[in-house]
Amino acid sequence: METNEIAKVASQVRRDIVRMVAAVSSGHPGGSLGCTDFLSVLYFDTMNHDPANFKMDGEGEDLFFLSNGHISPVWYSVLARSNYFPVPELGTFRKLGSRLQGHPSIDHHLPGIRMASGSLGQGLSCAIGAASTKKLNGDDSLVYTLHGDGEMQEGQIWEAALYASARKVDNLIATIDYNGRQIDGDLEDIISLGNLSKKWQAFGWEVLEMDGHNIDVIKATMAKAKSLTGNGKPIMIVMTTEMGQGVDYMMGTHKWHGSAPNDEQLASALGQLEETLGDY
Amino acid sequence: MTETIEIEVLGKKDTRSGFGEGLLEIGKRNKNVVALCADLTGSLKMNAFENEFPERFFQIGIAEANMMGIAAGMTIGGKIPYTGTFANFSTSRVYDQIRQSIAYSQKNVKICASHAGLTLGEDGATHQVLEDIGMMKMLPNMTVIVPADFNQTKQATIAIADHEGPVYLRFGRPSVPIFVKPDADFQIGKADIIIEGTDVTIIACGHLVWKSIEAAKALSEKGISAEVINMHTIKPLDSQAVLASVAKTGCVVSAEEHMINGGLGDSIAQLLSRTNPVPQEYVGVNDTFGESGTATELMAKYGIDTVNVVEAAEKAIQRK
């Protein structure tokens, strides 16, 4: 998709995010806004997928796993705007009986979701499993993931990192949202990740770095990542982002990781984000 | 005088070997079956599957959390993963991974757990998990199976492939008598009535089924007629089998190699308290960790032996 068209999607997705969390006074807008450009590119440009005919097994399709499930608002919006389910359903987010649970779930049968997430550190292992099954089935489509940077503090991530490299899981493209912030504060002050790219290189992964807010760069990096698959190495993209990107008062702080704007703050946010595809 | 109880013993083997044979057999029948192991291939008797189907065998290394996640992901695209490691590392170590990625995500993973309970012996309490049945039965969507001998473990290993949904299959290390027929029709959730009786119902699982058969023989010599039920499926519990037997006998003993808290006995008590409250006695480990020793010594010391089942049965009858 053309870059200006993806930018329109991203602007609308950001409006969806702030409206969704404001409506229920809960949820995680900061990381959602930071990953909006990436997920818009992934779903509208990078992945080969069939939104209108969602099947759990996803044979012949690229798969995506959201490991940091708390940024469900951005995923739900991108899924709805991609035609996985009706856009007006975004208005049910976090409400009783909704398919749009606070964190992504399976038992509510929301099209587009293949694995529950929320408890951190598990998505990479699940993606490795799905990628291994694709290989067994002779299915040459790819598996994508997204992780939080704070999530790198979970031990299971590094179990998965070792395994994917040792077993040459080279149909897997993982991405880390490196915004440097987590609930309790700046990541550097909580538990530093040191040199994150070098760590993944040392674990035997092919590592790319990209600016997570430049749509052209994201498109090009994802294309490059695809071209590197099948070479015996799993691929990790370390993506630099700004938590709260697009809403001025949510940027430069960790405070909007898990807080929703009030009416006045919502109005301010919507004033900064163009309505491009129509609000739900 | 009650009739003499005759139960044919077909040999003696460990239940984990039943798992190994069952896994090989279901691997031959169903090409979607894959096996994952966390560095305990020999202990779990998975070598035969590994040798026969190397492309469908996944050595994960000592990383059980990663193994559960990989197994969950492998179901997407139609595989039926069997994970293998010790019961402690199959449950308490990875409870959150099982809860979120397998049970809540409704993934068709078969969690196969060996060396459960006290009878793994000399390794001691770090490895002797006695809480696993409770943990696993509390998870929505989870089926919990504890087969009684080699043949039944083999049959259960084969049967769970055709059951859509997560399963916890628990077995063990010691060599124990085989009494389930090799051609028995194993059905998930359908208990086996091994001995019919009228004075007391003994409901057991795993290694305690044979102990309960021995207990029934001892009780018979005292003129007590005990019914012995092999409750190989803890969840879903065969409520009909429990209620029908208790209606006849009027009291019950549960027997298991597990904590009394949260085990088979708890499931039975929950059923009976709501439908037909009768005296119940528990044979199980009473809120304590195990220790090093032989399987035989440990079963005696921690009160999960034949004599304990006999005493519990007599006490239950007295309370009627």
- How distant, in Å, are the alpha carbons of A87, A92, B124, B146, B147 from that of B16? 52, 49, 19, 12, 10
Decide: A171 and A235 in contact? Cβ < 8 Å: no
What is the structure's pLDDT at B3? 65
C-beta atoms of B105 and A57 within 8 A: no
Please give the average per-residue pLDDT across A44-68, as a whole number.
Answer: 98
Q: Which two tokens stand for residue A109?
A: 């049968």
The widest CA-to-CA distance across chain B, in whole angstroms, is 60
What is the structure's pLDDT at A137? 98
Q: Is A101 on the interface with B (CB under 8 A)?
A: no
Using pLDDT thresholds of 50, 70 and 90, give the confidence band for residue B4: confident
Distance from the first to the final alpha carbon of chain A = 22
| Cis ω for the linkage preceding B236 (within 30 of 0) | yes
Residues of chain B contacting residue A117, judged by C-beta atoms under 8 Å apart: 100
Using pLDDT thresholds of 50, 70 and 90, give the confidence band for residue B152: very high
Please give the average per-residue pLDDT across B113-117, as a whole number.
Answer: 98
Q: Is B71 on the interface with A (CB under 8 A)?
A: yes
3-state secondary structure string, chain A?
A: CCHHHHHHHHHHHHHHHHHHHHHHCCCCHHHHHHCHHHHHHHHHHHCCCCHHHCCCCCCCCCEEEECCHHHHHHHHHHHHHCCCCCHHHHHHCCCCCCCCCCCCCCCCCCCCCCCCCCCCCCHHHHHHHHHHHHHHCCCCCCEEEEEECHHHHCHHHHHHHHHHHHCCCCCEEEEEEECCEECCEEHHHHCCCCCHHHHHHHCCCEEEEEECCCHHHHHHHHHHHHHHCCCCCCEEEEEECCCCCCCHHHCCCCCCCCCCCCHHHHHHHHHHCCCCCCCC
Beta-carbon pairs below 8 A across chains A and B? 115
* CATH class assigned to B11-178: alpha beta
The 10s digit of each residue's pLDDT in B17-71 is: 999 999 999 999 999 999 999 999 999 999 999 999 999 999 999 999 999 999 9
Among B134, B137, B76, B128, CA closest to B101:
B76
Among A56, A10, A51, A55, CA closest to A33:
A10
Helix (H) or strand (E) holding B144: strand B143-145
Using pLDDT thresholds of 50, 70 and 90, give the confidence band for residue B1: very low
Decide: A22 and A263 in contact? Cβ < 8 Å: yes
* CATH class assigned to B192-318: alpha beta
Look up residue A15 and give its amino acid. R
Q: Which two tokens stand for residue A278?
A: 């129509």
C-beta atoms of A132 and B58 within 8 A: yes
Q: Is B96 on the interface with A (CB under 8 A)?
A: yes
Burial class of B11 by CB neighbour count within 10 A (0 to 12, 13 to 18, 19+) = exposed
Q: What are phi and psi of B79, to 5 degrees?
A: -75, 155
Extents of the domains making up chain A: 3-272
Using pLDDT thresholds of 50, 70 and 90, give the confidence band for residue A107: confident
* CATH class assigned to A3-272: alpha beta
Of A58, A124, A160, the CB nearest to B76: A58
pLDDT higher than threshold 90 for residue A57: yes
Residues of chain B contacting residue A65, judged by C-beta atoms under 8 Å apart: 73
Work out the percent of chain B whose per-residue pLDDT is above 70: 99
**Rg, Å, chain B Cα set:** 19
Output the average pLDDT for chain B. Answer: 97
On the question of a common fold for B11-178 and B192-318, the answer reads yes
Q: Is A197 on the interface with B (CB under 8 A)?
A: no
Decide: B180 and B23 in contact? Cβ < 8 Å: no
Question: What contacts B316, CB < 8 A, 6 or more positions away?
Answer: B200, B251, B252, B253, B279, B280, B281
Find the residue in B nearest to A143 (Cα): B73
What is the structure's pLDDT at B149? 98
Of A57, A121, A129, the CB nearest to B70: A129
Q: What are phi and psi of A81, to 5 degrees?
A: -70, -20
Positive/negative CA dihedral, A147, A157, B90, B262: negative
CB atoms within 10 A of CB B59: 17
Scanning A5-64 for CB atoms below 8 A from B yields: 56-59, 63
Question: Cα(B222)–Cα(B230) distance, rounded to whole angstroms?
Answer: 22
C-beta atoms of B76 and A136 within 8 A: no
Extents of the domains making up chain B: 11-178, 192-318
Please give the average per-residue pLDDT across A72-101, as a whole number.
Answer: 98
The 10s digit of each residue's pLDDT in B300-309 is: 999 999 999 9
The 10s digit of each residue's pLDDT in A170-182 is: 999 999 999 999 9
